[in-house]
Copies of this chain bind each other. A is one copy, B any other.
Amino acid sequence: MHGPGDVRVEERAEPVIQLETDAVIRLVASCICGSDLWPYRGIEKQSGPTPMGHEYVGIVEQIGSAVRTLSVGDFVVGSFFASDNTCVVCQAGYQTACLHREPAAPGGAQAEWMRVPLADGTLVATPGVPDPSLVPHLLAASDVLGTGWFGAVAAEVGPGSTVAVVGDGAVGLLAVLAARELGAERIIAMSRHRERQELALEFGATDIVAERGPDGVAAIKRMAGGLGADSVIEAVGTAESMAQALHATRPAGHMSFVGVPHGVSLDAMDLFFSHVHVHGGPAPVRRFLPDLIDRIWSGRIQPGRVFDLALPLAEAADGYRAMDERHAIKVLLELP
């Protein structure tokens, strides 16, 4: 990305092993994230041309001399943060707060090749090279599925829960899927877009709320026994969506937030009298990857359904435009 609205696909030097814990992978697919739109829209400043992308699946082509769990030829899925997966924070399940955390795709994952630091702790090999039909689903696990899943876990979704999801982007839609997989009984998706509503229903939503603000909160409370949902997952990151999520949670219920909040303050008094448990942050996708890969491999879940547009990597600029204009929920970039 050379600047707001200016995405170019260019030849760059091939990445090489720099540290003995690195791997170099040849990407099989990549994609564009909602968070890539912040700099695209000029809201997040960049200091110059920046390689983009942090979601990826691919084949291991080279490994550093210290890499133990991966072999050349493995098909791998990784998260957006590299983690050692051995430090005390990783062992507690928060690999995105790893003491040695660094970006997993320092050279960008919207690319043919990438170097992945801390490969053992970051990448998870699938049971074999997947059928091409599985690739979009595995790619979704790299971020949006893992993030939606964390949203559901952080909001303590469990068997019988009543859940509300604020946000109908890929993460919100996959939080619906996660809630279903975790046994939720009632799943209320907030969306006013027909295609997204349909995907939410397909992923397991039992109810759709199109209203926003106080009306949306009132609708959720009506559906959730008058008090609010047990678990609310906030997957947007604005002041409005955070307030909506908090107020839609039942007294002493659980609210998670997994969309990076931009300029949002929470009123502590509001939080105090709600008794709501709040937990969020950059999703530790690595914690969930083995389980998510199993569910995808067995055909139990199809999270790749969130990709409603696939383009060759060379046409990445069109992909950004489609997401910016909300013509696409999420764009998959095909590698040659």
Which positions in A face B, CB cutoff 8 Å? 88-89, 92-94, 96-97, 225, 227, 237, 242, 250-252, 257, 260-269, 271-282
Contacts and interface: CB of A to CB of B under 8 A. Distances in A.
Contacts of A93: 252
Nearest to A96: B275
A252 B282 contact: no
A14 B272 CA distance: 34
Given A89-B227, A94-B252, A227-B88, A268 B257 contact: yes
A252 to B, nearest CB: 4
A237 B267 CA distance: 12
B267 A274 contact: no
B281 A268 contact: no
A252 B262 CA distance: 20
B265 A268 contact: yes
Given A252-B281, A277-B278, 18 more contacts: A88-B227, A89-B250, A93-B252, A97-B251, A237-B268, A257-B268, A265-B266, A265-B267, A266-B266, A266-B268, A271-B278, A273-B281, A273-B282, A274-B281, A275-B279, A275-B281, A275-B282, A278-B279
B252 A272 contact: no
Contacts of A272: 257, 260-261, 280-282
Interface majority SS on A: helix, strand, loop or mixed? mixed
A266 to B, nearest CB: 4
A311 to B, nearest CB: 31
A232 to B, nearest CB: 14
3 closest A-B pairs by beta carbon, nearest first, are A261-B268, A264-B268, A97-B251
Contacts of A97: 251-252, 275
A297 to B, nearest CB: 29
As for how many copies of this chain the complex holds, the number is: 2
Contacts of A257: 268, 272
Contacts of A242: 268
A219 to B, nearest CB: 20
A160 to B, nearest CB: 14
A238 to B, nearest CB: 10
The interface centre, meaning the residue of A268, A275, A282 with most chain B CB atoms within 10 A of its CB, is A268
Contact of A251 (B89, B250, B260, B279): B89
A151 to B, nearest CB: 12
Contacts of A227: 88-89
5 contacts: A97-B275, A260-B269, A262-B269, A266-B266, A273-B282
A14 to B, nearest CB: 33
A276 B282 CA distance: 11
A262 B267 CA distance: 10
Nearest to A250: B89
Contacts of A275: 94, 96-97, 279-282
The interface centre, meaning the residue of A94, A96, A271 with most chain B CB atoms within 10 A of its CB, is A271
A264 B273 contact: no
Contacts of A261: 268-269, 271-272
